[in-house]
Amino acid sequence: MKDDNVERAGRIDTATLSDALDRLGIAGQCLGIKPLSQESRLVGRAFTLAYAPVGPGGTVGDFIDDVPAGAVVAIDNGGRPDATVWGDILTMCAHRRGLAGTVIDGACRDTHLALGLGYPMYSRSYSMRTGKDRVQLEATQVPVNIGDARVGPGDILRGDSDGVVAIPRAREDEVLDVAEGIEAAEARIRALVESGVRLDEARRQQSYHLLQRRDA
């Protein structure tokens, strides 16, 4: 099904979306979450999962068949580097099901398959150490924390070579409108510079230093 705002977000880079979030006072930057490959790009609505530490008997969860095509899996594992919650079997399933990618506040493993398939993977780290018997899937489709950003089910996640931003569903029209305005202003600056105008003057004309400011 066509999703106009997901398509709009996919046409805007994360740097511009970050400026729009700043302008609106929304903490949507998923700080510390990095792409496995600099070629990675993702956009889609979040399917969220929350993990918690456990003793023996924990399971990393069998959720993948419930995630709709085009969604981004967003996993909150508290930033843990010592218990991975995503590996090659999940990558294979996600790729086959047409998911848009995976974002983890924590660690993934079996990175070779994600890289080989070109599957968009964003995480705080990667490791070989399993999460089985170390973490437990606690809840699905609940608000989670991803790199200091609060992500709710259905929020838009946009990732590129700079990282990931989260756009709250309740304010996505507003964020995208502002981001498109910033993008247009920056395009005008480039055009002015290419026509021979000094950069400082081009930026002054387009109020460049105010584009991300909340009182702009």
DSSP letters, 147-169, are: TTEEE-TT-EEEEETTEEEEE-G
Where do runs of H (alpha helix) occur along the chain? 4-10, 14-24, 88-97, 111-117, 172-194, 199-205
Is 110 annotated in some ligand binding site?
yes
Burial class of residue 194 in the structure, from the number of CB atoms within 10 Å of its CB (0-12 exposed, 13-18 middle, 19+ buried): exposed
User: How confident is the model over 2-28, as a mean pLDDT?
Assistant: 97
Other CB atoms closer than 10 Å to residue 141's CB: what's the count?
Answer: 15
Helix (H, G, I), strand (E, B) or coil at 75: strand
Is 31 annotated in some ligand binding site?
no
14-24 and 172-194 are packed helices; what angle lies between their axes, rounded to 10 degrees?
120
Q: What type of residue sits at position 194? A: E
The answer to whether 70 and 45 are in contact (CB under 8 A) is yes
**Rounded to two decimals, what is the model's pTM?**
0.94
Is 76 annotated in some ligand binding site?
no
The reported pLDDT for the residue numbered 171 is: 97
The answer to whether 98 and 120 are in contact (CB under 8 A) is no
Segment 119-178, tens digit of pLDDT: 999 999 999 999 998 999 999 999 999 998 999 999 999 999 999 999 999 999 999 999
In total, the chain counts a number of residues equal to 216
Residue 6 phi, psi dihedral angles, 5° rounding? -65, -40
Is 109 annotated in some ligand binding site?
yes
Tell me how far CA of residue 213 lies from CA of 19, 105, 209, in angstroms. Answer: 8, 28, 8
Check whether 56 has a pLDDT greater than 80: no
Torsion sign across C-alpha atoms 36, 142, 31, 215: positive
Is 89 annotated in some ligand binding site?
yes
Spatial CA neighbour of 33 closest among 152, 115, 123, 156: 123
How far apart are the C-alpha atoms of 123 and 75, rounded to whole Å?
A: 9
| pLDDT above 70 coverage of the chain, percent | 97
Is 155 annotated in some ligand binding site?
no
User: How confident is the model over 205-214, as a mean pLDDT?
Assistant: 88
